[in-house]
Amino acid sequence: MPQIVHTEGESNTSEARKAWLRKSMGPKSTPLLKRDADVFLHQSLSSPCVSTIAKAEGIWIEDMEGRRYMDFHGNSVHHIGYGHPRLVAAIKAQLDDLPFAPRRFTNDPAVDLAEKLADIVPGDLGKMLFTTGGSDANEVALKIARAATGRFKTISFWDAFHGAGFGAASVGGEATFRSHIAGPLLSGTEHVAPFACYRCPYNHAGPETCGLACAKMVEYVLEREGDVAAVIAEPMRAVPYVPPPGFWRSVREACNRHGALLIMDEIPTGLGKTGRMFAFEHDEIIPDIVTLGKALGGGILPIAACVARKQLDVCGDFAIGHYTHEKNPVTARAALTTLQIIEDEGLVHRSATLGEHAISRLMDELQNVPTVGDIRGRGLMFGVEIVDDRADKTPGNARAERIYYACLEAGLSYKISQGCVLTLSPPLTISQSDLDHAIDIVVAAIKAES
Ligand SMILES: Cc1ncc(COP(=O)(O)O)c(C=O)c1O
């Protein structure tokens, strides 16, 4: 259950990891981990597993040995915490009422959910399809972009993740999802370097100085290719990297100039995680298509959505998202109730204020720590980059891993991204005292390793 994401080149058998496994594996976990490894296909980042899970409740997860952790990862599904009682009750009631809808039979929860999403997504994005997972929602978006523009090329970012399907992996930029698959991915999927001010030579100098070189590169490729159907990207990268001010406005305008659609993948960032309902709202742009998923199912059920501008309803003669659970009333009910909970409990505002508090505490307490390269984020998606030396920014992968295991030991689970970024993303329902306790754990572990 503890989530460590090993990026390319990172050791899967470090001393810190071996020590943790020796300590954490008990009589209940060990046999299950072995059965799991025997029966599941092994793949990078997931199987074999590093731990077991017996309970998930609120912000907490518990393994089969009874160890409890605050879950600051949750695969970005747990905005409302695990097992929110109102959501559990709504799902149970829906199961009794109408458990499934075969294709072509519409139902109240599916239409109610679509109307609700049309209502909360800005602009005239009001037509949609539901899918079971985010990868599929992105593939629907790509198909719409092809049909609407009569073009097939895309621009996306190296290092981005958009899902594991062939189309989604083709626009993705993470090596592990692109490598070792014999044969080509989708053609025409051009990639550019992502925005990442901290790693940029201009180093947060601001748009006046850097001239938004990262956005200009997107336009350069749009212009040189001349026939790009869409730019697809995460509005804020979950690493986390916040876009420089003006980046998205500049890309939006470039898309308009070159006849390309802008697709925002809000699968981890959407529904309040960054302190706005959608992360692109920080940047005052409106995309042509938005994809949502993960937390949409309330941390219980799988449902995702591709929401497009009404004028993009151009695929009526083709099947672009013909999924078995397209209008499943139970998953739709889960999503609708999740949106109601987010609204009724003021979770978007809560994410903004708690996130500000967390980031400013980290900045205050870690400002003089030489192994902290950067602290960044928005709302309750924030992170601390660990370096070996602040001056040359050498990534401190081994140090980050030791910090991670120290935090686990103290009862806090999260994800390490890109080898050295402690990526902290708690539920929006977290109490301030639990958040403060988690920050105490992270700060102490970082200071002990500096
Ligand atoms: C930005 C982004 N897009 C798409 C996906 C794929 O979603 P799913 O795993 O539901 O297919 C993910 C999942 O981590 C993601 O982070």
Instruction: Give 361-393 pLDDT, tens digit per residue.
Output: 999 999 999 999 999 999 999 999 999 988 878
Neighbouring C-beta atoms of residue 45, cutoff 10 Å: 12
Binding site membership of 133 for ligand 1 (Cβ less than 6 Å): yes
Distance 166 CA to ligand 1 centre (A): 13
The residue whose CA is least distant from atom 6 of ligand 1 is: 163
> What are 417's two structure tokens?
């991204």
Prediction pTM value: 0.95
Could you tell me the sign of the dihedral formed by the alpha carbons of 326, 270, 265, 419, in that order? negative
Q: What is the pLDDT of residues 289-342, one digit of tens each?
A: 999 999 999 999 999 999 999 999 999 999 999 999 999 999 999 999 999 999
Cβ(406) to ligand 1 under 6 A? no
Residue among 73, 76, 171, 267 whose CB has most ligand 1 atoms within 8 A, to mutate? 267
Q: pLDDT by residue (tens digit) across 1-27?
A: 444 443 433 445 678 878 887 877 888
Q: What is the CA radius of gyration of the chain?
A: 22
- Ligand 1 within 6 A of CB of 161: yes
Closest by Cα among 251, 201, 196, 202 to 228 = 251
Encoded tokens for 438: 């988690």
- Note the pLDDT of residue 180: 60
Among 135, 237, 300, which is best to mutate for testing ligand 1, by the most ligand atoms less than 8 A from CB? 135
Pick the CATH number of 85-344 from 1.10.3660.10, 3.40.640.10, 3.40.50.410, 3.30.750.80: 3.40.640.10
15-80+347-448 CATH fold: Aspartate Aminotransferase, domain 1 (3.90.1150)
Ligand 1 mean position to 162 CA, how many Å? 5
DSSP string for 105-136: ---HHHHHHHHHHHHHSSTTEEEEEEESSHHH
Q: Per-domain residue ranges for the chain? A: 15-80+347-448, 85-344
Judged by phi (left if over 0) then psi (alpha if -120 to 50, else beta), residue 246 lies in left
Q: Mean pLDDT in the chain?
A: 93
Position 227: which residue type?
Answer: D
**Among 271, 292, 294, which residue has the most ligand 1 atoms within 8 Å of its CB, making it the best to mutate?**
294
- Closest-lying ligand 1 atom to the alpha carbon of residue 268: 16
